[in-house]
Structure formats: structure tokens, C-alpha cells
Amino acid sequence: MKYTNKDIRNILVAGHSGCGKTTLVEALLYTTSSDMQRMGTVQDGNTVCDFEPEECKRKVSLSTAIAPVEYNGTKLNLMDAPGLFDFELGVHEAISAAESVLITISARSGVTVGAEKAFHLAEKYKKSKIVFVNKTDLENANYYKILENLKTKFGPSICPCVVPVRKPDGTMLYINLFSQKAFEYQGGKPIQVPMPDMAHRLDGLITAMSEAVAETDDALMEKFFSGESFTTEEIVNGLAKGCRMGTITPVFCGSAVNLHGLDMLLYNLKELLPSPAEVEPMLAETQNGEPAELRCSEQEPVAAYVFKTVADPFVGKLSYIKVVSGTLNHDTALVNARTGETERIGKLLYVRGKKQQETDCIGAGDIGAATKLSQAQTGDTLCDASRVVQLPKPTFPNPTLSMALHVMKKGDEAKIGAALARLVEEDPTLQYRVDQETGQQIITGLGEQHLDVTVAKLKSKFGVDVELSVPRIAYRESLRKKCKAQGRHKKQTGGHGQFGDVWIEFEPCDSETLVFEEKVFGGSVPKNYFPAVEKGLRQAVEHGVLAGYPVVGLKATLLDGSYHPVDSSEMAFVMAAKLAYKAALPQAGPVLLEPVGALKAHIPNDNTGDIMGEVTKRRGRVLGMEPDADGLQVVEAEVPMAEMQDFTTFMRQLTQGRGHFSYEFVRYEPLPEHLANGVIEEAKKLHTEEEETL
């Protein structure tokens, strides 16, 4: 069934891990679907949204799943996003396709970091918000404490709409503050019961809700101050207006497992949240760099936004699409605004978990998927050729935890690059590179679980078995004092011999690469051999004398030497230069250098002292601190790269997931002597292992 843009609600379901998001979506599907015989559970691994093998195995959501719910002529496109911070890519993908955010909170855990982040993300992107307090039927649930915490953290926009009451026998009642009616649930069905005695609490809740409604309209404000009560219709219309303006965040409650309060939630998802046709036009940019407004209308030229990509080796590439304007038809050609190339739209699908239903078209404001778009990536805009525009590129969390990959089975080396390219296309928070310094294959992600799941996908989807290890640090070597040495290469081989003789002075300098000069007088070394001397030195500095790391900050000056008119050659002078290098460097005060990077840690104000202490503990230097735009503090420091391996985990634990950081290489600095010996021994051990392998 095709829905008009006014009858669609695109809703991101977000919150902390374990708050019951997937169970809530499953319950809403079960409540509204006639074809669902039983409601799946996360524990049994049979929910609609957690269908990936790794999700069933780990019993947790790892990526965003789409689950359309059809309710009273309205299509609610629910996007169930992961709550684990290692997989918060899903939240950032789905927010671009949603007009609203359903923030789920566990009545057992309260207002956790995941709920805070979901609320602030909705505020950042100006999305309407609704809060659902789940698991209110648990014995240790305290809804009113959670309500106070919500008001403390998020301000006066919090507006209770449904509240729970526990009877002496443990039965849960739910009070609809709109109609001031009480309901008990049996088998998921609401049964109206007499209003319980709530003393003055009910009056206070109704007054708070009425005051929020009155703020949305001058006529309602006058009625409120005159002491008149609002009708249910006036409350719903006022809340809907405030919700769409962002000034009201309605709060509902219930139990997804026992199907409590879902009828009231469904009704208000439809009535209070905006359709794609009711929000402000999306701002895009033309090819000339001029702004353009995209209105959600089927009469407009087609513009579709790719907000998620799935790369499967068996099914093929699947691009999840939000149709921003126009009607997207199958077997049509659209222009990819990023590449300028034409993409042929093949099969179009409506997706419900892992189930796919083929369709001829997807209307304005709706969400679907397209198969086998060869060039399209997450964040691309596909447009009609008559109006080529680019919607803003999405911003994703910055991956900070790097590990080295080691293929377990010989022969899989060729497969690993192609497999990871597919996974990186699917997951923009995953990075893959080959470190030119160490030769290791490095993957970088958001955390340990993120990389662990990536390894599991490599094996299950692509048949590549790998293990992870801590990446090697790319150290450097340099020298501290000036030194001069002779390099003399002489060899007799029966015919022409080999002869090259040089005196070279080595000294420190500020260059990253070798600086070569010559100060030869009298032709002791002919000019045509100068390039050979330089070539020999450039080959030599690739390996230092301490641990075999490249040498930087070295200036070499050719001072003198000798040659043989018959036996001298370029190769002989290359060898002579290397001999001079090997003779001089041990006498020139060789030193190991370690990479140092700039750290910018964005953390809550309460954690600034802890982070400064940790930086010092990791041999770093705090450079300063300044306030961040999102209410956090930015601590700037310089820290050796060798001390940063577990910093991602430390930050997650210290800030409970609220903080984040960036780290970029700045320069090399001398490694303290008490640490240098360990690095040298490790390098020798590695070199021995490599020789044994060969």
C-alpha cells in the first residue's frame, strides 16, 4: 500500500543499550500486524529487527533496522538503532532520514547516557522528540524519579502525558492525562477502570501539561489563565504544535514486554509527530554552490538520499534510501550529485527487518531500498537530471581504536583487501589501511566490540579468518653529535676490481630526510661519483644502527676520498658510502625517536582533572583547556603514540560514553633511555622472527 507524505512518520528509536528499544519495536509490530502469530524476543534471537547472525548470537543490536508499522492509515517507519556506543553509527545514519526521535528509557536504569546523547542529537538536528519510559511494571521502577531527572537534564520541555500507578495488589494502571482516564491491560488490551486516588499529584501533573500546551497558542494561554480546562482535542493539538516546534517533549510510559500502554503510544506517534510534509524544506546545494530548498512533494523533481549501505557477498549491495522529493520509480536513471555519473535504479524494495517486498515506486517522504547501485555510497544524493543538488554529507563518530590484522591461513592475503573494502563501504566508522612504515594491515574502529564484530563478519561473510594484535609503533632514529668516518670499499675479482674511498662527516639537522652536501677539493672524488655517494647514503638511512628504524635529522657532507681510474665505479662508491655510514653512526650518539601526537579530548567538566592526570601518567603534556560548543570541555595535550593504544577504552569508561577525542601525529621526540632498551630488544626479536619465516 502506498502512503501519501502526510500519512508517513519517519521515527528513529534511540536510547541506551538494554532499555528495550528492539523489544518495543517488536511489540508495536505485534500489536498492529495481523500476520505476526507471536512476538519475538531478543533472548530467543527471533525479533524482526535483530536478524543478523552476530546480533542473534550476542543478543544486542549492531546496526539500524527498518520496521514499518501500519496504524490507522498511517505508516510509521521505525528505525531501531543500536544503543552500544561502539555501534552508534546507526543512530547517525538514521537521524538524517527521520523527522522525529523516540527516546526509550528503562524505568529500571533511569536517564542514562544513551538517552542524553539521543536527546542532544535530536536537538542538534532539530528533530521532534517523544520519550517512552519502558519497563514501568518492574518492582523497582520509579517513574516519578525518572520524570524529575528528565526535567533536571532536559529542562521545562519535558511534559508527562501518561503516568503509571501501582495498585496494592501489584497491578499496574496507566493514567491518560489527556482524558483523565485510567486503564488496566490484560493480554495487551486496555480496559478502562475507575480513577485511583492520587491526591494532589494528579492535579499537579495536569497543571504542568496544561501550562505546556498553553505556551503554544495565545488563545489557549488566555483560556489557561482564566481557569478553564482544556478539551482533549485542544491538548492533543497543542502538544502536537509544541512537539513540532521543539518546545515540548511528551513523555509516555508502559511495558513493551507485557504490551502495556502501547495503544496510547501509537496514537500519539501518529497525532503528535510531524509528517515529512510538515517539516521545514531540506536545504541542499546546487552544482554552482547555491542553496536550494527541497520540498517533500511528489510534484517536485526526484531527490533521494542514501542514508545506509549494506554490502553482502551473497545478496549484493543494498542502499537504504529516503525519498526527499518527487517519486522514485524503478528502472529510471538518476544523477549521483557526488560523482556526476548516472545511476540506473533497478529493483526497489520496502524493507521490514530482513524481509523485502518489491515495489514499483517509493513516494516522497517514504523510506525504502534499492539494489545494486554500483557507485552510490552512504551520504550520496541521487537526483533528476533537471535538478542536480547535494544534500549535506553526514557526520559520523571518529574511529580511534586501531589494531593490526594477521591472516590466519595462507592464501587469504589476497582476499582480505577486497573483503574489508566491502565492510568499509557498509560502515563509514571503520577504516582500513596498510601502514607503509611497518607493513602491517591496520583497521580502526570505535571500540573493542566494533573491531571484534568486524573480525566475525570477515569470517562469516567472506571466509577470511584473522586475528588482531597491537600495532607496532613506527619509531625513528637520529644522532646527537657530529662525527666523521671513512668508508673504503676494495675488492679484486680477477678482472676489473671494485674500488671506492670516501670520508664523510655526519651531523644532526632539522630535516626529516637526508641532507647531502659535498666539499671535495682537488678532485679526490670525481663529480660523476657524487650521485652514487648520495644514493648509498639514502639507502643506508632506511635502517638505523640501534633498532633498524629509519634515520631522520641527518646531514652528510662528503669531504674527501680517493678513486682508481680503472676499478672505481658507481657501485663501489655506493658501497663505500654505506661503510662510512655504518662506521660513523655508532660514534655519533644514536638515539631513538618516538612519534608524538596532538590530543583533543572533549569531556564533561567533572572529568577534566582525571584526564589531565591521565595525560601526565602517559608521559604527555597538557597544553590548555577551553569550553566546547556542546557544553563539554576540550583538553588539549601532546602524548606519545605508544601510550595511546587503550585510550579509547579509558575515555569510554571515564566519561561513561559522553566524551570523545581526536589524535593526530605532530612530530618525533627522543624516547627516554629507560624505555629505549625494550624497544631495541623487541626490534631484534622481530627481525629474528622475520628471518626464520623467510
Is the Cα dihedral 577, 580, 582, 588 positive or negative?
Answer: negative
Phi, psi torsion values for 562, nearest 5 degrees: -155, 165
The pLDDT tens digits for 336-353 are 999 999 999 989 999 999
Same domain, yes or no, for 659 and 565? no
From CA 465, how far away is CA 627, in angstroms rounded? 45
pLDDT at site 391: 95
Q: Is residue 687 part of a domain?
A: no
Segments forming the whole domain that contains residue 626: 593-674
Question: Does residue 598 sit in the same domain as residue 581?
Answer: no
Burial class (CB in 10 A: 0-12, 13-18, 19+), 509: middle
pLDDT at 373 over 70: yes
pLDDT digits (tens, 9 = 90+) for 219-276: 888 888 888 888 888 888 999 999 999 999 999 999 999 999 999 999 999 999 999 9
Tell me, what's the pLDDT at 1? 66
- Alpha-carbon distance of 360 to 347, in angstroms, equals 8
The pLDDT of residue 125 is 94
Q: Is the pLDDT of residue 310 over 60?
A: yes
| Statement to judge: residues 247 and 336 lie in one domain | no
Do 490 and 607 belong together in one domain? no
Give the end of a domain, one of 278, 307, 333. 278
With bands split at pLDDT 50, 70 and 90, how would you rate the model's confidence at 146? very high
CATH code of residue 602? 3.30.70.240
If you average pLDDT over residues 164-181, what whole number do you get? 91
Q: What average pLDDT does the structure give for the chain?
A: 92
Q: Is residue 60 part of a domain?
A: yes
Q: What is the pLDDT of residues 531-560, one digit of tens each?
A: 999 999 999 999 999 999 999 999 999 999
> What does the pLDDT read at residue 216?
85
CATH at 421 = 3.30.70.870
Question: Does pLDDT of 694 surpass 80?
Answer: no
267 and 161 fall within a common domain: yes
Rounded-to-integer distance, Cα 117 and Cα 676, Å: 43
How many domains would you assign to the chain? 5
pLDDT classification of 692: cutoffs 50, 70, 90: low
- Side-chain-side CA neighbours of 247 within 13 Å: the count stands at 14
Interval 612-660: pLDDT, tens: 999 999 999 999 999 987 789 999 999 999 999 999 999 999 999 999 9
pLDDT tens digits for range 217-229: 888 888 888 888 8
Is the pTM higher than 0.85? The answer reads yes
Q: What pLDDT was estimated at residue 396?
A: 94
Out of 411-415, 597-601, 602-606, which region has the weakest mean confidence (pLDDT)?
411-415
pLDDT confidence of residue 685: 83
450 and 86 Cβ atoms separated by less than 8 Å: yes
Residue 681 located in a structural domain: no
Minimum mean pLDDT range among 30-44, 317-331, 589-603: 30-44
Position 8 pLDDT exceeds 80: yes
Instruction: Tell me what pLDDT residue 536 has.
Output: 95
Contact 655, 628 (CB under 8 A): no
Q: What is the pLDDT of residue 656?
A: 92
- Are 565 and 603 members of one domain? no
Regarding whether 500 and 439 lie in a shared domain, the answer is no
Here the CATH number for the domain that contains residue 271 is 3.40.50.300
Kindly state the percentage of the chain with pLDDT values over 70: 98
Report the pLDDT value the prediction gives residue 299, as an integer from 0 to 100.
92
So what's the pLDDT on residue 398?
93
Give me the pLDDT at residue 493, please: 67
At 571 the pLDDT is: 92
Residue 449 shares a structural domain with residue 497: no
Q: In what order do the strands lie in the sheet with 189-193?
A: 162-166, 172-176, 181-186, 189-193
139 vs 100, higher pLDDT: 100
Per-residue model confidence (pLDDT) at position 691: 56
If asked whether residues 385 and 409 sit together in one domain, one would say no
